Amino acid sequence: MDEFIAGLPKAELHLHIEGTLEPEMVFALAERNGVKLPYASVEALRRAYDFRDLQNFLDLYYQATQVLVTEQDFYGLARAYLARARDENIRHAEIFFDPQAHTRRGVSLGAVVEGLSAAMKDAAREGGPTSRLIMCFLRDLPAEDAMATLDAASHWLDRMSGVGLDSAEAGNPPGKFTEVFERARSLGLRAVAHAGEEGPSAYVAEALDRLQIERVDHGVHAIDDRALVARLAGERIPLTICPLSNIRLRVYPDMRAHPLKRLMDAGVVVTVNSDDPAYFGGYVNANYRVVQEAFALGRGELGQLAKNSFAASFLSEQGKPDRIAEIDAYVKTQQAA
């Protein structure tokens, strides 16, 4: 089954580029940029990857992002992820970045966006994957900061497909960003948001109603509200689920307790993603593998998850049937093998 998963064509829709910063790269960039780290070695840093909860993870994640300083750093980060994604048969990636985590340290938005988008262009030219950029606002900062970030990004809007919302969820409900998302949508940007990761199912409904998002990032706590699950299924609102992340951040004690299969069975468009793979013990294929093992999924069900990833993507509607047909063909040949 591992080989089947490795060969399955797929899209990744929930990936924080800063979360692909591997410990070795943290140390290499710290040296290059003269940034002092409070860890003696790569191993000491890796040992710190034992998280109590989302906030505990975010503290380390923001600390590590400080080694990203130049346009070249962002280029290298995205190139490394896209090469890895290609090895995992990811054909398309929709990549989150956190501008405020960089601009608040004095790094220019231009360095971030130019570096990332140059890497994305080069990777696509060299055979893929294709990719899109989604600019996330930090929800634990004031809405005014998010609005100022959206204003500052006006010069680079052609590089972005959409906006998102991430960082510490509890106590920062989606409604806080209603005007920011309204403005972003009026500028032609698509909208997604993290909701129902550590926050309650009510935040998922609020993100749908007030931010008018097209996909929910995580959304696992929707399982606590039957009517909401029925709404997600009925309106075909996809969830970008990140299984290893949910275990590592102790949202669920283990995969058996995870609602992914129950959501699938309820007809929700579920996708499988890696979130912050350098921190959570695996990239996309590792996430498919833990789901397959926990729920004994067959090739058809794994194929469905991959088809969902293209259906839920921001690729053009005309382009989707071919991608989906490719998966059907792959599943068929593998079943015959």
- Residues assigned a catalytic role: 197
195 binding ligand ADE? (CB under 6 A): no
Query: Which residues does 1 contact at the CB level (< 8 Å), separation at least 6?
Result: 289, 292, 299, 302
Q: Which of 17, 45, 54, 133 binds ligand ADE (CB under 6 A)?
A: 54
169 lies in the binding site for Zn ion (CB under 5 A): no
CA dist., res. 263 & res. 277, Å (int): 23
Q: Which helix (H) or strand (E) holds 62?
A: helix 54-65
Residue 221 engages ligand ADE in binding (rule: CB under 6 A):
no
Residue closer to ligand ADE (CB basis): 145 or 301: 145
Taking CB under 5 A as the binding criterion, the range among 1-9, 175-183, 268-276, 323-331 that sits at the site for Zn ion is: 268-276
Among 116, 163, 275, 311, binds Zn ion (CB under 5 A): 275
Residue 276 binds to ligand ADE (criterion: CB under 6 A): yes
**Spatial CB neighbours of 228, under 8 Å, sequence gap ≥ 6:** 201, 204, 205, 222
The nearest distance, CB 258 to ligand ADE, in angstroms, is 15
Tokens describing residue 313: 């993507």
Q: Strands 10-16 and 190-195: what pairing?
A: unpaired
**By CB under 6 A, is residue 23 in contact with ligand ADE?**
no
Q: Which residues, in sequence order, are bridge partners of residue 90?
A: 10
- Binding ligand ADE (rule: CB under 6 A), the pick from 197, 222, 286, 303 is 197
167's contact among Zn ion, ligand ADE, none, with CB below 5 to 8 A by partner kind, is ligand ADE
Cβ at position 195, least distance to Zn ion in Å: 11
User: Strand 190-195 and strand 162-166: pairing?
Assistant: parallel
**What burial class does residue 103 get, using C-beta atoms within 10 Å of its C-beta: 0-12 exposed, 13-18 middle, 19+ buried?**
middle
The single residue among 275, 286, 292, 324 that binds ligand ADE, judged by CB under 6 A, is 275
Tell me if 143 sits within 8 A of 177, measured CB to CB. yes
Do the beta carbons of residue 190 and residue 214 sit within 8 Å?
Answer: yes
Which residues form the interface with Zn ion (CB under 5 A)?
275
Which residues form the interface with ligand ADE (CB under 6 A)?
16, 19, 54, 61, 166-167, 194, 197, 245, 275-276
